[in-house]
Amino acid sequence: MTEPDTDPETRYDIVVVGGGNAALCAAMTAAEAGARVLILEAAPKAYRGGNSRHTRNFRCMHDGPLSVLVDRYDEAEYFDDLMRVTGGKTDEALARMVIRRSQACLPWMEAHGVRFQPSLSGTLSLARTNAFFMGGGKALVNAYYRTAEALGVDVLYEAPVTHLALDGQRITRVDYTHDGRAHSLRPRAVVVASGGFQADLDWLAEAWGPPARNFLIRGTPYNRGTVLRDLLDQGLSQIGDPTQCHAVAIDGRAPKYDGGIVTRLDCVPFSIVVNKDGQRFHDEGEDVWPKRYAIWGRLIAAQPDQVGYVIIDSKAIELFMPSVFPPVEADTLEALARKMDLPAAQLVETVTAFNAACGDTSAFHPTELDGVRTEGLTPPKTNWARPICEPPFYAYSLRTGVTFTYLGLHVDETARCSTASGPVENLWAAGETMAGSILGQGYLAGYGMTIGTVFGRIAGEEAARHAR
């Protein structure tokens, strides 16, 4: 007969797989309900927090001014915003539940150590809808780890989970490695909050084909989907299209992993974008950038070698947020083409044709759809079309940057996972790993953190109730 408190395998009531926002929300909530909780984080401490460490805000409903949020943002408007970006591919009941609960999240987050700040300079459009974390997502993650540890939650870093043993409708064992050795635990309940699989390029390539190997991964290299695949292989219900991922066009010089926010480039609307053959391929002025931001990842992915080149002139250089790397600069288009390894004659021809198609630019307005468009050009540029003619000329290379994937675990409104035979008694999921249950495609800034917080808390509560 072993004492439950000393048997290392049953020492914990709940094991939380993952160490980002959703995992921490679940762990804190469960610990507050009296459960003994262990977090198994695959990353080393310096990189703990998954993609959450790169986030900056969460989208929050509010009936009136709330903390740093101004005015009001009600359920109807929030839901409309969501439907617009997902094209209706949304689970309405779950989405509305997340929206409604987001309001109570803000004070809860503050009570658990998160501090907010007014929307950052350059992000005025989000001041009403998104509450920014002071210091960003890593500061949030740090605060949550401090709070969790004060609540008695144990944390193991560099402890990737390799297998969750499903026996009938129960998870009976958690296998993980730590310090070079294999370990097992037998908790009463398990919360999976270990993100998507975007850092596993082989898996991405299964869905996307070989071009996926040229993608850059904007977030953590530790979201390899090991547990997700392990569970799907055991028959857990899945949701989401494996080819769906949040993919944006980022600076081609960004690191392969973990480049985060600073690699974004906001200059596309004021540019022309060519492929490696020096040809344009899409309307750069289709809509204001925040709305088009997420389609350019796919557009670039469809070009040869999955690379694009954004070309602007000196008129445009001050019009967008500065980015991490300085642009390549030259006094002539030919010189610019040489520096960028583009066919010079073709680039000049493309720019000349574009310039010739530009008309009256007096109505140019950088932050509004100004209708300053090209005539007789294919593809057209339908806004902000000003000739590229004032040296120096600047160029950035663009590559596809993947933020997260949508394929994941299907959960119900209690965050519980299931198989074809029904719910799994003691398995809950939260965060990116189940976000596909709500969003089928598209993305609304800050909604991922809202899902993680709402479902993390639900999963923690449900798991603690089960473990009692």
Partner 1 sequence: MPDNLYPSPIEEARRQAQICNACRYCEGYCAVFPAMHMQRAFSDGDITQLANLCHNCQNCHDACQYTAPHEFALNLPAVLAEVRQDSWEETAVPRALGQAFHRSGTLIAGATVLIMALLFWLARHLPGEGTGFYAILGHGAMLAIFLPATLLPCLAIALGLRRYWRRVEGGPIRLAHLRAAFGSAARMRNLAGGHGEGCTFETGAGFTHHRRYMHQLVLIGFLLCFAATVTGTILHYIFAIPAPYPVFSLPKLFGVTGGILLCLGCLGMLRAKLAGRAELQARAVRGGEFGFIALLFTVSASGLALYAFGGTAALEGLLALHLGAVLSFFLLTPYSKMAHGFYRLAALVRDAQRSA
Could you list the residues that contact partner 1 (CB under 8 A)? 46-47, 53-54, 56, 115, 117-118, 120-123, 132-139, 142, 146, 255, 258, 260-262, 264, 318, 321-324, 326
CA–CA separation, 21 vs 72, rounded Å? 25
Least distance from partner 1 to the Cβ atom of residue 250, Å: 11
Is 100 in contact with 61 (CB distance < 8 Å)? yes
Least distance from partner 1 to the Cβ atom of residue 227, Å: 23
C-beta of 187 vs 260, nearer to partner 1: 260
C-beta of 59 vs 264, nearer to partner 1: 264
Least distance from partner 1 to the Cβ atom of residue 267, Å: 12
C-beta of 47 vs 208, nearer to partner 1: 47
Least distance from partner 1 to the Cβ atom of residue 369, Å: 25
C-beta of 324 vs 344, nearer to partner 1: 324
C-beta of 68 vs 439, nearer to partner 1: 68
Least distance from partner 1 to the Cβ atom of residue 391, Å: 18
CA–CA separation, 98 vs 458, rounded Å? 11
Least distance from partner 1 to the Cβ atom of residue 317, Å: 8
Least distance from partner 1 to the Cβ atom of residue 129, Å: 18
Kindly list the distances between the CA atom of residue 61 and the CA atoms of 90, 98, 175, 297, 351, in Å, as whole numbers in the listed order: 18, 10, 39, 29, 45
CA–CA separation, 431 vs 144, rounded Å? 15
Least distance from partner 1 to the Cβ atom of residue 67, Å: 11
For the record, the structure tokens of 458 come out as 């639900």
First to last CA, the chain: 21
Least distance from partner 1 to the Cβ atom of residue 322, Å: 5
Least distance from partner 1 to the Cβ atom of residue 235, Å: 37
Cα–Cα–Cα angle for 391, 264, 288, rounded to 5 degrees: 75
Least distance from partner 1 to the Cβ atom of residue 135, Å: 3
CA–CA separation, 224 vs 362, rounded Å? 50
C-beta of 97 vs 134, nearer to partner 1: 134
C-beta of 67 vs 243, nearer to partner 1: 67
C-beta of 260 vs 446, nearer to partner 1: 260
C-beta of 78 vs 145, nearer to partner 1: 145
C-beta of 324 vs 353, nearer to partner 1: 324
C-beta of 139 vs 165, nearer to partner 1: 139
